[in-house]
Structure 1
């Protein structure tokens, strides 16, 4: 019987509530007038306070009480959700997390300072966007009113932008020059209240038309009555940032979920893997006995095993949005720290990936995002000088591609500096000066250990360990990295990862007396090796429906014993943008492959990603297509160099 720790139960629930709070605050910074977001954040605070008191977290409850009191003024419309308030609230959320993790080690003075910052943010007039629409009396010019002076006075309150100007409705010839036919719509961004804006029009207020609205929220009209904005509110409601949906719906989504320890899921997956192996043995025995009854039972068990496997694997699949949500705060904080305006846009959050893969993706993605914001994205003034928008865009997306998931991190920054990367690589001894390399090969040098083009070591970069971590982690997950960059237009990094690390569909092949499994997701087609292939060793290319596909003989790579079969087969596989043919002696057929990791003794063998147990109890190695292709290409290059040397 498992005894649940009440404190640990609270910590698990609090983690979800803190996630909701953080996402709501980040959304609220973009949409300060969204009442649903304010309510979502307030509900999360209120639930945390009550649960904390119930489970004995008194310091948490006391701190949140003051936090909640300040935020309640926003909920009641007595204060605006200003950037200063959001920044203080995010710090308060971090302090709550520290109190929950270990109340004794949390700094009480830090909590006091955060609450003081919240109080100042509530008390100070918040910088806000105001939409001011005004039309002066027709005889304003006759009375000596100068519209330019009014606009200049508004500009003294904050940054102003004229959004539109109505043109005279009458023909030009009929316009009376003594009358004013124009109206203005001005957006004002400043830490001012509505009264300060009204004072600009103090002496002509009675005879003019004036409407003042706070963008995104309810505001008072020029007559002083509480009204809903006619323009601003609908626009704000429709202007949903593409980077994330409101966190308000999160508690609703979690109502039907059940918490299960990760260890239990891992154990269940192991049992299903053993069942798949046993089922394969049963099917092989049934096929050899030619007993219809036994074959029927074997087929039923195979069907049920496949269903159980898919269901069990489904419990391990987690939407990648749970990971993407963490990076909104990272981008928010880095934008402030680097003084760069960056918008994070996410897509494909519903894409599911094995939880084991997601857990190991956090660090690589953090390194890639930090690298893009520190090295790739320019400051606003530099972007504007190049004709770009001052605000940069960082895109984080995921999509299924066959049995893989492609995760893309793209920025619209300056792109990779090829000359600078090459010079640094030569200085570090990674390549010899003058070594002929393609642009793509030079770009991939950034993943080498210790490589960095930073001028100085900072808290973000300069030590050359980040991208190396990315490469090692992705390769450890049997994935690959695609890198593309265009000078002046940005860089795109795509991580290609298997859906699961537990069970895959494989193509079983024989090479000599050994049997090997090729991941079926990497297989494009199987063809017969031409009879004249021996005469083609100089070029090792096949003509596959008009496309030249290089091929390699696994017998040569693995030093297989015995004579090659008379009719060898070619399995055409793909890795990223490359297509390669693998020559085998025999294609045995498809099988369910339960992946078993190789021992540490064999960890340096990159050609194989693991092993599996076949139905007859023997072991088959699983080919790592990406590394195998790279190994074969290097071997082919050495052969060509040797042939050229002999010819010379």
Structure 2
């Protein structure tokens, strides 16, 4: 593997670990005594240090080692978690990130030195107690057993009583005879395993053979464990297997002194009852041979002859059965781990795969169109099967691109913490629906708009503790981020319990800027959405956080570019709610294909409620605005022919597609509804990018172009016209 590739692998892992480190440090603010979280922090630092040293990032390794030392003191009970310690630790995390991002030598070393100095001052200011008892004191003494020399390795996380927290693994690492390996090399491998929680490990020597025998607990799978050894030049063979915890706890004493020996025993063939009794010294071997002549079960014969008590036979049988069950369970868990293994794929390869699937969908549509003109049943059957497989491939490929939005939500805890401290506020961030999935591209482009909205909630929404207390509110404000599926879209809510927005202040500022007239009647929704106008701000002063009148219009443009919508509702004195609605993916959608004259359009199927014929008797008009009477409901509509100035005459009977969005309905009038269509979304050229009512384009089966309608934009236009008409 090339140096560039190994460096990239290290950086990818380091970025993940830094994310975990930040999350764990922030969690410690709420539960400073949680040893599991403290151990997670220590293991993340330990792994970054070890990997950095292995891949030549010495500056990162040295800096991280100093921070790791501080948390070793925390882990040993010599230093308590304080807000100051966490602040310096978060700064250390940021410094490591900067070192990863910048070429060697470009990071200001004085920043790192200042952070380390602060950490050392925190450590020296604490009362240092005697070190806690080593969690592995029972294996800290080397022993000579049966001519095999064993040397202890301190685990990266404490031994857990009963081996009961995570999956239990056994790893055997062997060095073949004839290969000279320094034990320091094996030590470095064991350090890499540290992040997955070694419970017990011994390096063993027998003749020319050297091997490690490891029992440990981990959340990782066997493939992830084996990857640790991928980059090493040490000539070793590695065998990883998961063992069932309930079985090992059921028939072992779970004393840490003999876990290795007992697990080794379970890997041997199941022993016969007579062998167990002879090995125990309960029965002579000659007695076993004598009674084997009878056909009765061995245990029954031995009991009848008085050679051994019934209790001892039952005990031996229990051990035999436990061993059988252990091996059976271990085999099942190994199979489960194998089927659940995963691999890491670069985003570029995944994007290329999605592009290829998109082209395949287009070709499949072209084939279907050709086949439909042949009237050949066999070709039709093949075309239908190809369409089915294309659908499955499309859904599977897009599913791979889907990521839980919680990966984005988790990054905002740090933002809320830092800004609330800067502004002297006390704010909690709650998240709901973190498991809700969105396309990778949507999530990546959603980050900046959410950051800006959160900054505004923190700066303008949440009051300072004294003001909140005076109003009878809790001193700590709350911002809630939530996500949920809504039809074929995802809805994201940003709620705060702050002071809310003043309808009159917003309206007054809009009149002052000439955005609306003084006599114009606006709904609450229309008033609050005025803050998305360029340069609009009601802030009385400019801060480092916000108030310059830039940004909210950029947020709206960013959401619009994702084919989404954003709205605000607010209650003065109680708080505000920002609602963002986004499509699941920007790559391929199910659409409804329609035609107006010789032009084709696609309406996102997730917004379509029904299609009906439009006749003149169904049309009603009020104040110049046309409506359709749909089973007693008056629904406004828009004619695509008029909106895009399509040439040609309207047919006597038109079709109206009823679409729904956020509780409202509008009709889209077209000449003909063709049917459902897998739509591969293509971006528009610069000339057409700003055409209102169009969000993209797609290629039909015959190679012609169809435009994708921007239904949210059409909704806003129609509803605004209805309101203007009174």
Q: Normalization by structure 1: what TM-score?
A: 0.77
Distance between the aligned counterparts of 2:600 and 2:695, measured in 1? 15
Shift of 1:328: 0.7
CA shift, 1:376, in A, is: 0.5
CA drift at 1:125: 5.2
After superposition, the Cα gap between the structure-2 partners of 1:531 and 1:435, relative to the gap in structure 1 and judged at 3 Å, is closer
Task: Give the structure 1 partner of residue 593 of structure 2.
Answer: 508
Is contact 1:474–1:481 with CA below 8 Å preserved after alignment?
yes
**Aligned residue in 2 for 1:100:** 100
- C-alpha displacement of 1:536: 3.7
Pairwise CA distance, 1:59:
1.1
Name whichever of 37-46 and 317-326 sits farther off. 317-326
2:395 matches 1:304? no
2:692 pairs, out of 602, 606, 627, with 606
Match of 2:422 among 328, 337, 361: 337
The CA distance in 2 between the partners of 1:250 and 1:541, in whole Å, is 64
Greater shift, 431-440 or 472-481, is seen at 431-440
Among candidates 645, 648, 656, match of residue 559 of structure 1: 645
The match for 1:280 among 336, 360, 365 is 365
Give 1:149-548 correspondences, 5 Å limit: 252=220, 255=224, 256-533=341-618, 536=621, 538-548=624-634
Task: Identify the residue that residue 79 of structure 2 maps to in structure 1.
Answer: 79
What CA distance in whole angstroms lies between the structure 1 residues aligned with 2:25 and 2:67?
13
Distance of 2:489 and 2:640 partners within structure 1:
25
**Offset at residue 455 of structure 1 (A):** 2.1
Q: Equivalent of 1:549, from 626, 629, 635?
A: 635
Q: Could you tell which deviates more after superposition, 547-556 or 51-60? A: 547-556
CA contact (8 A) 2:499 2:573 kept: yes
| Alignment length (residue pairs) | 522
Query: Residue 687 of structure 2: SS of its match in structure 1?
Result: helix
Match of 2:53 in 1: 53
More RCO (CA 8 Å, sep 6+): 1
Using the TM superposition, give the Cα deviation of residue 539 of structure 1 relative to its aligned residue in structure 2, in angstroms.
Answer: 4.7
Q: Structure 1 residue 462: deviation in Å?
A: 1.9
1:257 & 1:98 partners in 2: Cα distance? Answer: 29
Distance 1:550 1:373, change over 3 A: same
Aligned partner of residue 508 in structure 1, secondary structure: strand
Residues 122 and 601 of structure 1, relative CA distance in 2, 3 Å threshold? same
Shift in alpha-carbon separation, 1:388–1:125, aligned structure 2, 3 A: farther
The 1-side partners of 2:541 and 2:385 are apart by 65
Which range is displaced more, 94-103 or 385-394? Answer: 94-103
CA distance in 1, matches of 2:362, 2:427: 50
Alpha carbons of 1:534 and 1:401: their partners in 2 closer, same or farther (altered >3 Å)? closer
Query: 3-state DSSP class of the match of 1:23?
Result: helix
Residue 112 of structure 1: aligned partner: 113
SS state of the match for residue 381, structure 2? helix
Q: Provide the residue aligned with 1:167 in structure 2.
A: none
Q: In the alignment, is the contact (CA less than 8 A) between 1:482 and 1:576 conserved in 2?
A: no
Give the C-alpha shift of residue 546 in structure 1.
4.2
Any conservation in 2 of the 1:610–1:622 contact (CA below 8 Å)?
A: yes
CA distance in 2, matches of 1:454, 1:584: 46
Distance 2:574 2:61 in 1: 49
- C-alpha contact (below 8 Å) 2:620/2:629 kept by paired residues: no
**Alignment check: 8 A CA contact 1:409 1:493 kept:** yes
Mapped to 2, the partners of 1:521 and 1:276 lie a distance apart of 19
Give the superposition deviation at 1:317: 1.0
- Whole-angstrom CA distance in 2 between matches of 1:377 and 1:401: 28
Indicate how the Cα distance of structure 1 residues 351 and 73 shifts in structure 2: closer, same or farther if over 3 A, else same. same
1:340–1:15 distance in 2 versus 1, CA, 3 Å:
same
Tell me the SS of whatever aligns to 1:603: coil
The answer to whether the 8 A contact 2:696-2:708 is kept is yes
Q: Confirm or deny that 1:591 pairs with 2:677.
A: yes
In the alignment, the residues of structure 1 paired with residue 111 and residue 720 of structure 2 have an alpha-carbon distance, to the nearest angstrom, of 57
TM-score with structure 2 setting the length: 0.69
1:616 equivalent to 2:616? Answer: no
CA contact (8 A) 2:695 2:708 kept: yes
Q: Which runs of 5+ in 1 are unaligned?
A: 127-192, 194-246, 642-648
User: 8 Å contact 2:592–2:602 — kept in the other structure?
Assistant: yes
* Local SS of the residue matching 1:5: helix
Q: Distance between the aligned counterparts of 2:619 and 2:484, measured in 1?
A: 42
Q: Deviations over 1:497-544 (max 9, x none)?
A: 111111000001122222211000111112222441456475522343
Whole-Å separation in 1 of the counterparts to 2:619 and 2:604: 27
Give the conservation status (yes or no) of the 8 Å contact 1:20–1:250.
Answer: no
Distance in 2 of aligned mates of 1:480 and 1:23: 30
Query: Could you tell me how far 1:311 is from its partner in structure 2?
Result: 1.1
Q: Would the alpha carbon gap of residues 562 and 98 (structure 1) be closer, same or farther in structure 2, given more than 3 Å must change? A: closer
Q: Aligned Cα RMSD in Å?
A: 2.4
Q: Does the 8 Å contact 1:611/1:622 carry over to 2?
A: yes
Tell me what 2:70 maps to: 70
CA apart distance, 1:5: 2.8
Give 1:251 deviation, angstroms: 6.7
3-state SS of 1:600 partner: coil
CA distance in 2: counterparts of 1:283 and 1:566, whole angstroms: 31
Which whole-Å CA distance do the structure 2 matches of 1:352 and 1:534 have between them? 42
Name the CA shift for 1:534/1:418 in 2 (closer, same or farther; >3 Å).
Answer: closer
Aligned CA distance change for structure 1 residues 383 and 635 (closer, same or farther; 3 Å): closer
Task: Provide the rounded CA distance (Å) in 2 between the counterparts of 1:596 and 1:4.
Answer: 34
Structure 1 residue 545: deviation in Å? 4.1
| 2:48 matches 1:34 | no
* Contact 2:426–2:465 (CA under 8 A) maintained in structure 1: yes
Residue ranges of structure 2 left out of the alignment (5+ in a row)? 130-195, 198-216, 225-340
Q: 1:423 to 1:124 in 2, by over 3 A?
A: farther
Is residue 628 of structure 2 the alignment partner of residue 628 of structure 1?
no
Q: In 1, distance between residues paired with 2:604 and 2:458?
A: 36
**In structure 2, C-alpha distance between the alignment counterparts of 1:446 and 1:504, rounded to whole Å:** 31
SS state of the match for residue 642, structure 2?
A: helix
Deviation at 1:436, TM superposition (A): 2.7
The offset of 1:2, in angstroms, is 8.7
Instruction: Tell me how far apart the structure 2 counterparts of residues 454 and 250 of structure 1 sit (CA, whole Å).
Output: 51
Write the distance in 2 (CA, Å) between the matches of 1:281 and 1:433. 56
Does the 8 A contact of 2:98 with 2:107 survive in 1? yes
